[in-house]
Structure 1
């Protein structure tokens, strides 16, 4: 920082922090007035709290669910009320965090082309519904920060040369060399747009209905901060910064993960945590693993980062029956500092991203994975490369169908393989998040994909609450079995200190067919050895090989089997998980 802050009041410390952030982002502008505006917008000149560095804002009881506001529909009730009722009914004391995907008016991309940031989409409900959910759950919401809808008032004003919006978007001469720009889509980067000044070409990272905002204009930053303040008032505790890696553009670069981008994340962190020290920032950066890790900063950027490499590596492990790549990746992952953690997920509203395994899976493994997913009904989405060619970007498939077999084809182990995947996620260092459709075993929705005309719709089914409840109550339904088994695993996890998101983790080496790791509680009183047979053949292990302490009593938390003879061997059935603990 540019000044000593040791003896200063908290508001002065905050002001100096904000000034320092802005001085890096806007070195050629007078930033004092901008700092004052941002602080005033956040009402930090009225009420400013002091955040604690390296404080863990979570523990082993924190479990998240990811869902659209209208994933479950009911009779004559707004979908947000139906969702609230469903979660209260089925997950009391099990799920405590709910990520409602963009619930604002939108024009495309199932909500991520936001047409009005300060409204709840009327077909979903209203702000009262959001507030009610936030009273019973930690509410996670998207800050769609990189772009807005072409139907947003800002862009409509831009086309008319009016404010606010006339200078909110990135204009580029199409003759510029943009070949280095990294894209997640195959659509043209620039969109020709008529304005009072003639035709202009605006930057569209994700498509022509999603126009990138120009953060080089501090007025754009001020608008985003104003939106953040509203979301805090509406009960949002966890902010998911959507596509944040793309927000700063500099010609001649790949326009990804630029230093100004990181500084903006640090600035938003400063503002948010001084408004609510218990608020959390999660960065959504679907990029190669090492680049993703950079968003922790020095525990001063994201509190959590999406563990994007986990879904493709885990699916690859379970369909090949070999955990070598997953194990190598796990050994390379640094322990998260206190005050930061990984946001673990293995399914989401999007597909299984392939960029996060660049450098982790070789080309032959990737090709085999893609082919296997296509054999199980999956689709492949593509991105454009700078040479004009296209490359697979993600696999679109419901996770339940992705695990219906192996590279050899479909088999009888689909259900056990699916439960094994979630048992691994629940036990790993980090905060686990379940996609709602995984919790209930939803399968590929080909009709919705055909109706909506894009691959991602295959995993975005809308259930009628009555129909879903019937399936969950039917013991012969796979939905019921998935639901009950996952609920049980969640219940077990929540009572184990060794499963704290920041508890110690070490990778164990028990061959390529057993993915194993050790967790130890932060007070070192509990150890859990997590053994997962990721193959379709039984695997035998000597207890001596995992160094169980003979003076302790050991029990598998899942099967409740006990182990007394440390020289004995145990056999894991196909896709069986053991959580062997010395405390229960």
Structure 2
């Protein structure tokens, strides 16, 4: 620590305890901060660090004492978010409980499920509709008016902490709404704020960039640049014409987001979901995604948070190929220094692929090829989320499984849109790109797994198979290792909601088909095993409760993907000092008999399946796997 920095800290912090704590963290993380901002901002780095120190001190002084205590507790237990009792619930506040105050009345419901992490999508003030489901932010320091106030949020975070539930907030990094104050000032001619964005006098540079850029929403937002009449300039707009991309090469933008993050961290936000993080850096001749500067910027932001509010986590919303995704958790110089969490999109895609094909061999190959994460980080594992399903199956993985990549992706789109013979799914095609053949899918978990059709046909056997598919999917998400994300309504097997077409705000975006309002009438019957909704809730609750008793499912442990002797069956092993766990997942509606020698060879001499609570008979000669079976096996001892 420089003499100048030490003097500034001593002057700012009168309390000896506060000063010692801040100095210790600053000494630990300032090198990471300086290295990353030097990499991005070059000769401006020292000036930027000098500007950052007073900002960090101001927010540290304002940080409430109970949050400082939480900082200390989590510093002493850095794996708190990796424990086997972690479970995330993901929902839109207004569709789950109307507003932030309404969430209070539903905390017992979340507690019954065992939720320890609550992601309320998106809470910050957006532009008027259309606003990309709330992700076109107009004011980063204001809670959405329909959800409540800043005071409501603080009261909620306090109540959540009392129940040991962490709150996750969306933070859109790549762009702001064109109504945001920065964009308004830019249009009015303010040069400082014009430099917050990427604008061009003519199409020369935009056309050069477009040669290598992808289109995110080709149906309703083709191209990546929009002409602004008031400025007489082209504006970079990756997602929509009213979402202006930020210029992260301008260090003032970095400083703005430091203040935003620390502001909400001091209000009790535990996790920031870094939305659209892959897009924040631009370079000619590339697709402007996943560039190295993205990870330098994340490391810098994380270092700031580690100094001021170390109880806070970062979750990277990077839905990219595995070899690029792993960098969001850290590789090389960034190992363990960037995001703490990242979405395991590949696992989600492979679950749906295996259910459609009744074959887990592609999943086996894809997961075996997946890079190993840092031990200090965790995957966010999930079956569904608020977005569409894109078929991120690589040609290389497909070839290893004896498949043609493009052909398999087309099969999955056909299957889950209900256009493949014998499909049980009821989904909608989202954003078809005729140039690339890409067709993503919208639909609720239950409808994609066949429950909608089964209920229409009043076929109890098909209803049973649908619930079994869904429970199998969640068993794998819970058993793979990470923080399992439970998307609102999945626990009740809620179906597609086609009323979205009646809303002018939602009608053009069919992703709202799987964003229903919570059906509390159905929820009241969640303990009734005679209904498919009750079967799903009770079955999922049992899996969650079983998971909490198994230290093998701590996210710091590795997941070994074993070679399976039956194509329909995925076999995983979770090593642990207290005894390994082996898992079996049957992705077909047929009974399977898995050779028993795998248990003998791997030392499972007293095998107990924790999901069913039964011991396996080693003398049987095989492991019985009923349709869509899921087994978590350890030695009884």
Q: Does TM-score exceed 0.5, indicating one fold?
A: yes
8 A contact 2:383–2:477 mirrored in 1? yes
Superposed, which structure 2 residues align to 1:396-545 within 5 Å?
A: 396-404=442-450, 411-412=462-463, 413-449=465-501, 451=503, 452-453=506-507, 454-463=509-518, 465=520, 467-508=521-562, 509-521=564-576, 524-545=577-598
Q: 2:56 aligns with which of 42, 59, 74?
A: 42
User: CA offset at residue 394 of structure 1?
Assistant: 2.7
8 A contact 2:426–2:450 mirrored in 1? no
8 A contact 2:344–2:380 mirrored in 1? yes
Q: 2:6: which partner in 1?
A: none
Superposed, which structure 2 residues align to 1:68-107 within 5 Å?
A: 68-73=92-97, 78-92=98-112, 94-107=114-127
Q: 1:338 aligns with which of 366, 375, 391?
A: 375
1:64 pairs with 2:64: no
Superposed, which structure 2 residues align to 1:108-507 within 5 Å?
A: 108-135=131-158, 136=160, 137-162=165-190, 165-172=193-200, 173-176=202-205, 177-178=208-209, 179-186=211-218, 187=221, 188-195=223-230, 198-297=231-330, 298-355=335-392, 357=394, 359-361=396-398, 362-375=405-418, 376-382=425-431, 389-392=435-438, 394-404=440-450, 411-412=462-463, 413-449=465-501, 451=503, 452-453=506-507, 454-463=509-518, 465=520, 467-507=521-561
User: CA offset at residue 507 of structure 1?
Assistant: 1.9
- Where 1:31 maps in the other structure, the secondary structure is helix
User: CA offset at residue 165 of structure 1?
Assistant: 2.9
Q: Closer, same or farther in 2 for the Cα pair 1:69/1:221, shift >3 Å? A: same
TM-score, normalised on structure 2? 0.83
User: CA offset at residue 396 of structure 1?
Assistant: 1.1
Q: Closer, same or farther in 2 for the Cα pair 1:478/1:357, shift >3 Å? A: farther
User: How many residues end up aligned between the 2 structures?
Assistant: 565
User: CA offset at residue 35 of structure 1?
Assistant: 1.4
Greater fraction of residues in helix: 2
Which deviates further from its counterpart, 112-121 or 411-420? Answer: 411-420
Distance 1:343 1:551 in 2: 29
8 A contact 2:113–2:541 mirrored in 1? no
User: CA offset at residue 216 of structure 1?
Assistant: 1.3
Q: 1:5: which partner in 2?
A: none
Q: Closer, same or farther in 2 for the Cα pair 1:15/1:334, shift >3 Å? A: closer
User: CA offset at residue 336 of structure 1?
Assistant: 2.3
Aligned-CA RMSD value: 2.9
Q: Closer, same or farther in 2 for the Cα pair 1:42/1:354, shift >3 Å? A: farther
1:326-373 Cα distance to aligned partner (Å, 9 max, x none):
111121223322211211112000011224656434111111110011
8 A contact 1:11–1:45 mirrored in 2? no
- Where 1:236 maps in the other structure, the secondary structure is coil
Q: 1:568 aligns with which of 607, 612, 621?
A: 621
8 A contact 1:57–1:339 mirrored in 2? no
Q: 2:635: which partner in 1?
A: 582
Distance 1:61 1:140 in 2: 17
1:476-529 Cα distance to aligned partner (Å, 9 max, x none):
4322221111111001001100111122322232311111111122xx213222
Q: 1:556: which partner in 2?
A: 609
TM-score, normalised on structure 1? 0.90
Distance 2:266 2:393 in 1: 35
Structure 2 gaps, min length 5: 3-22, 62-67, 399-404, 419-424
Q: Closer, same or farther in 2 for the Cα pair 1:23/1:335, shift >3 Å? A: closer
- Where 2:467 maps in the other structure, the secondary structure is helix
User: CA offset at residue 46 of structure 1?
Assistant: 5.2
1:372-414 Cα distance to aligned partner (Å, 9 max, x none):
1111332223376xxx9354263111111111189xx994511
Distance 1:25 1:572 in 2: 53
1:140-165 Cα distance to aligned partner (Å, 9 max, x none):
11111100112212112221123773
Which deviates further from its counterpart, 412-421 or 51-60? Answer: 51-60
8 A contact 2:326–2:373 mirrored in 1? no
Which deviates further from its counterpart, 297-306 or 170-179? Answer: 170-179
1:118-158 Cα distance to aligned partner (Å, 9 max, x none):
11112112223323433321111111110011221211222
Which deviates further from its counterpart, 163-172 or 486-495? Answer: 163-172
8 A contact 2:177–2:242 mirrored in 1? yes
Distance 1:545 1:493 in 2: 23
Distance 1:569 1:458 in 2: 43
- Where 1:65 maps in the other structure, the secondary structure is strand
Q: Closer, same or farther in 2 for the Cα pair 1:267/1:393, shift >3 Å? A: farther
User: CA offset at residue 191 of structure 1?
Assistant: 0.9
User: CA offset at residue 15 of structure 1?
Assistant: 3.9
Distance 2:341 2:125 in 1: 27
